[in-house]
Each structure stands twice: as C-alpha cells, then as structure tokens.
C-alpha cells in the first residue's frame, strides 16, 4: 500500500551524479515501492536541483530499518559535534541552525 505522502524541503548542499558534482536545492522524502532496491516498500529520498535539469538528481532507496539508523546517525553526529561547529557552518551558509536533543 502506498501512502502518497511526500515531505519536500529546501536544502543546501552538493550531490554527485554521473556528470559530476552539482548544487542541491531541495529534497523529497517518501515511502513507496522501490525502483531498484529488493524490498516491497522503501523510504525514498530524492536530492535534487530542478533548475539544473533531470540529471541533477541523486536518488536513494532505503529499507525502513536502514532509514531509521541513518536518521539516528545523522542526529547523533550533529549532536556530538564540538560546541559551535554546527551553528558556525549554518551561519556561513546563511541557513538557520537547529540542534537536535540527544
């Protein structure tokens, strides 16, 4: 069963595709049937820059357990960074910083 629920958010970063590195401007996260992963349903993440064309996309299909582990690892890594490092990186990019509770 597909939920058709999609979270889309603006992001700042870089991705590497077949043509090399490109700027990322948004991400979409959704639970659906995978195209390639050997699972019934996966958490799919599309990192994109629509202004740069269809090739400016990195797609990821994760089984639910791997998706949860990745989310926890990201939050733990950010929470474990030296004081001020995450905030300084966000400020240099003009992005609001948010810190996760450990």
- Domains of the chain, residue spans: 6-92
Structure confidence at residue 85 (pLDDT): 83
pTM of structure: 0.80
Confidence (pLDDT) at 3: 74
The whole-angstrom separation of Cα 46 and Cα 18 is: 15
Do the bridges between strand 57-62 and strand 42-48 make them parallel or antiparallel, or are there none, so unpaired? antiparallel
Torsion of CA 84, 89, 93, 94, to 10 degrees: -10
Q: How many residues comprise the chain?
A: 102
Q: Is 92's pLDDT higher than 90?
A: no
Q: What is the pLDDT of residues 35-88, one digit of tens each?
A: 898 888 899 999 999 999 999 999 999 999 999 999 999 999 999 988 888 777
pLDDT at 100: 41
pLDDT band at 95 (very low <50, low <70, confident <90, very high): low
């Amino acid at each position: 069963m597909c939920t058709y629920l999609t979270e889309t958010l603006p992001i700042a970063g870089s991705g590497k595709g077949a043509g090399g590195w490109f700027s990322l401007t948004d991400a979409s996260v959704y639970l659906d049937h995978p195209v390639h992963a050997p699972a019934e349903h996966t958490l799919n993440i599309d990192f994109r820059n629509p202004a740069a064309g269809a090739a400016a996309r990195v797609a990821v299909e994760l089984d639910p357990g791997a998706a949860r582990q990745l989310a926890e690892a990201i939050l733990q890594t950010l929470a474990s960074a030296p004081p001020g490092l995450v905030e300084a990186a966000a400020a240099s990019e003009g992005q609001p910083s948010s810190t996760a509770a450990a």
